[in-house]
Chain A
Amino acid sequence: GAGVSQSPSNKVTEKGKDVELRCDPISGHTALYWYRQSLGQGLEFLIYFQGNSAPDKSGLPSDRFSAERTGGSVSTLTIQRTQQEDSAVYLCASSPGGAGYTFGSGTRLTVV
């Protein structure tokens, strides 16, 4: 597609439920990133996929967080047993391998 697409744009979930966030990167972009941004804060790196290499999971805050990237394209970020502190905007970005990230508009997650 023309840009990075994320869905849903907004998600409200009850504490303890699992959620899945989806990212469709720009076609042909080999690198895909997930970030988290709390209100008024900077971006917190979560996970990075590059081609067929093992993902860099060093930013995942707990084992409740996981992500997959199928076929080198679409990625899903899963948060299990959500907690209120998980409430944030989750941003996905892709790049062709260099530094020019293109970000999606994010998924605003609210855990109540």
Chain B
Amino acid sequence: LAKTTQPISMDSYEGQEVNITCSHNNIATNDYITWYQQFPSQGPRFIIQGYKTKVTNEVASLFIPADRKSSTLSLPRVSLSDTAVYYCLVGDNNNAGNMLTFGGGTRLMVKP
């Protein structure tokens, strides 16, 4: 399993863009990169997934460089409600068993 490394915590202010970077130096050819968001007292929620280059949806963007050894989750114009823990996972999209390990995540605090 490819191990991931993320910052433990980040602070931001409302309206700013937040970028959270995840390192995954041992990513395999078949591995996808997936990000989850978790609010207190709730289960994690899928945000975005990508394989290479850039993926964008209504919530976030995911930037993946050519070597795929890292990825950056970008949250545009954060609000107080984006305060949560963000988890990066790496694994084979065709083998759900390879997506088992959640790291410690990044605790994002958005301040007014």
Contacts and interface: CB of A to CB of B under 8 A. Distances in A.
Contacts of B36: 101
Interface in B42-64: 42-46, 49
Interface residues of A, number: 25
Contacts of A43: 44, 87, 102
Contacts of B108: none
A98 interface: yes
A42 B103 CA distance: 6
Given A43-B44, A56-B97, A104-B43, A99 B89 contact: yes
A99 B49 contact: yes
Contacts, number: 62
Of the listed residues B93, B100, B101, the one surrounded by the most CB atoms of chain A closer than 10 A to its CB is B100
B44 A98 contact: no
Interface string B22-48: 000000000010101000011111100
B87 A48 contact: no
Interface in B7-26: none
Contacts of B101: 45
A95 B99 CA distance: 11
B85 to A, nearest CB: 8
Interface of A: 4, 31, 33, 35, 41-43, 45, 48, 50, 56, 59, 91, 93, 95, 97-106
